[in-house]
Structure formats: structure tokens, C-alpha cells
Homo-oligomer: A and B are copies of this chain.
Amino acid sequence: MRTSDRLRNITGGGSDGWDVFYRARKMVADGKNVIELTIGEHDIRTHPVILDAMHKAATAGHTGYAMVPGTNDLRDTVAKRIQDRTGVQTTRDNIVITPGGQSALFSAHLAALETGDVALYCDPYYATYPGTLRGAGGVPIAILCKPDRNFEPEYADLKRAAKGAKSLLINTPNNPTGVVYSLETMQNIAKVAIEEDLWVISDEVYDTQIWEGEHISLRQLPKMEGRTLVVGSMSKSHAMTGSRVGWICGPEDTIADLINLATHTTYGVPGYIQDAATFALNAGEWLEQEVGNPFSRRRKIAQRIIGGQNIVRAIPNSGAMYQMLDIRATGLSGEEFANALLDQELIAVMPGESFGNAAAGHIRVAMTVPDDAFEDAMERLCSFAQSTLS
């Protein structure tokens, strides 16, 4: 028997652009001493106080079916947090808890799209985006974002693509670039969304990791509340990647429909994990700072080292855990650079090409190893770039 075409078509065929990543993993498995700056996962684990809160909830008996929309406590906590951060009135009826941000992305697109609708996303993009849109029955169309605009989408490109489209997926702070979209960019996105009657799915899972400037949630811009589905998660803010707990914040009626979807697709999220998330969100900012500070420190290390040479150019990363580097001056593609760096220096980075067409000639550095190893890797990376010219 054949699997359905729509499942077989999710990946879209061809290389998934993660060859360097897999090759690095294999070298590590073979005992090689590779510094991996590849994936968006913290080098610390979930904090013990969060795990203790989880165990306490579980042993106290919160092991049966939790409410499908999420526990009242967690929905209230998330709603209050969003209201405090954005000024937009938000209640639990605007929130559905999901098993992670990826599930939220998928569900939000099921809510926005009919099968066959055009779904826009910005290139460069997080690896699962096009497949998620296809999985939800959409026809994904990329909006190319330019390196000399810090990979932020421009009004004219948004406007052109939006004709006939049904939704737009944005991500700020951005993975893979670390760029925090400017107010102007956010206003352009809102303008096009209103003019062309788009749903916007706004992936804001890095919203607590801002190193410069300010994060603007799309939902707080005028007239956007009714057409924005904000995706949030505990993964990046609290180093709870493995716990798979996130949410969608949106209009009440759509959230009600999404709760109904949850009843038929996931049937809720473990209650003890939700209790742990509630605890973590109410524990104060020290927990988030403990998770975020290493990236802030390493970003400064990278800036210092990159500032000392002029081959590699840094895309200004104001948030998240990534540094995108323009290596076009070496004459190599991102893939060529990443492969050579892995072979010669045992340093693994992601080629920009892994994140679409827009970031060709770039590499993404995940700042997810201890400071001293990171400093060493950045220095050798820059020396390597220099060496390609001689």
C-alpha cells in the first residue's frame, strides 16, 4: 500500500541541505573532536527547579487527562504574560496550549488555510517551514529577503507575493539570522496583511532573547489582533526543548476551533509538564536570563573577533542564539565553506543554503557551545576564511 501523496510530498524532494550536519554528527560518533555550532539547542539542560516542579505535580496526581485546551493556570499565565509584554488585552480564551511550537505552527496553518491555498514564508527560513505548510495542505511560496537588508522582508516583495495568497509566516527574532525585525518591517508586514486580507502566523519563540533594540509582537500593531496567530513556546526561553510545550495566541473564535482540532489530533499536553511551565513562567526573569545570558556573552565574543578582520561580514543579530556570517568574500558557497571548515578545522556550521536560497554564500553559527570553545572556534573560523584567499 502506498502512503498518501500529501505525506510523501511534504519534503518536496532533493537534498534537505543538512548534509554537513549529518556528516559532523557521524564524525562525532566516530570519536572525532568536532565543535558543533549547528543546531538551535542550548548547551545547558532544563533547570532542576523546573524538573522538581514537574515531579511534584506528577506525584501529587496530575497524571490523568489534562484539559485539552490547556490547564486554566497555564493559559492564564501565558495570557497575562502576553498582555504585560504587548499591552493587548489577552485572556485564556485567546490561548490554546500545544505540544511544542512546531505543533503550534502546523495547527495555526490548518486554521488559516484551505487545502491548496497559497502560504507565504520568508527565505531564509527555519528548516521545517516549507514542509509544515505543505503538510497543512498549503502551497508554500518563499519571499526572498536580501542580505543587504539584514534579511528582513521588504514592502514591495511582500506586496507582490501577497496577491492571491492566504497567509504569511514570519519569524522574529529570526532563525537562522538572529535578526530582530525593525518597527518599519513589522509595519510593512501589517500593512500588506491588512491590504491583502492575509492571516499572519507570527513565530515569536525567541521573544525573550533580545540583545539589542526591542521585540515587537505583530499582534500589538493596529488592526492586527484579529488576523494574527502568535506562536510561542517554552523551548528556547526556558531550555525546555524536549518538553514539547508551546501555545498559539489568537482571536477567541479561531482559538475555539483550534481547541476542537486539538481534541482530534493531540488530546492535550501532559498536565505535569503544564504545571512545570506555569511554575517556570512565574518564577521570575532570573530563569530566562540564566538561559539567555550565554548567548548574549558569546555574541559579544563573536563581534570582537569578527571586528578584527575584514573577510567575514556579520549580519547584525539583535536576538536569539545565532550569528549569520556573509562569507561571499572568500568566493566559496556556504556549503563549500562549511564542508572545508569541517574537514580542515573540525568545526561544524550550517551552510546558509540549508535555510533556502536567500542566504547562499552565508553560514549560520549557533552559539551553543561553552564560551571558551566558542571563542576558539570563531578565531579559527576567521583564520580559515582568511586562508582561503591566499
Contacts and interface: CB of A to CB of B under 8 A. Distances in A.
B270 A244 contact: yes
A77 interface: no
A232 to B, nearest CB: 15
A257 interface: yes
Interface in A253-267: 253-254, 257-258, 260-261, 263-267
A223 to B, nearest CB: 11
Interface string A229-252: 000000000011111100000010
A318 B180 CA distance: 60
Interface residues of A, number: 70
Interface in A74-121: 99-100, 102-103, 106, 110-115
Contact of A268 (B106, B110, B244, B260): B244
Contacts of A55: 51, 54-55, 58
Interface in A320-356: none
Interface string A156-200: 000000000000000000000000000000000000000001010
Contacts of A137: 6, 115, 137
A280 to B, nearest CB: 12
Contacts of A253: 3
A266 B103 contact: yes
Contacts of A54: 55, 58
A273 interface: yes
Interface stretch (A7-15, A211-219, A296-304, A381-389): A7-15
Nearest to A6: B114
B45 A61 contact: yes
Contact of A5 (B48, B51, B114): B114
Contacts of A220: none
Of A10, A251, A258, most buried by chain B (CB within 10 Å of CB) is A10
Interface stretch (A27-35, A127-135, A307-315): A127-135
A41 interface: yes
A4 interface: yes
A287 interface: no
A362 to B, nearest CB: 24
A45 to B, nearest CB: 5
Nearest to A1: B227
A271 interface: yes
A247 to B, nearest CB: 15
A103 B63 contact: no
A45 B239 CA distance: 28
Given A45-B63, A267-B244, A110 B7 contact: yes
Contacts of A380: none
A228 to B, nearest CB: 9
Nearest to A228: B1
Given A102-B267, A131-B264, 14 more contacts: A3-B254, A42-B64, A51-B58, A51-B63, A63-B239, A63-B242, A63-B243, A102-B263, A102-B264, A102-B266, A103-B267, A131-B263, A134-B264, A243-B270
Interface of A: 1, 3-8, 10-11, 41-42, 45-46, 48, 51, 54-55, 58-59, 61-66, 99-100, 102-103, 106, 110-115, 128, 131-132, 134-135, 137, 197, 199, 226-227, 239-244, 251, 253-254, 257-258, 260-261, 263-273
29 contacts: A1-B199, A1-B251, A3-B112, A3-B254, A3-B257, A4-B114, A6-B114, A6-B137, A10-B257, A45-B61, A46-B58, A46-B63, A48-B59, A54-B55, A55-B55, A63-B242, A65-B242, A66-B242, A99-B266, A103-B265, A106-B264, A128-B267, A131-B263, A132-B264, A134-B264, A137-B137, A243-B270, A244-B270, A266-B266
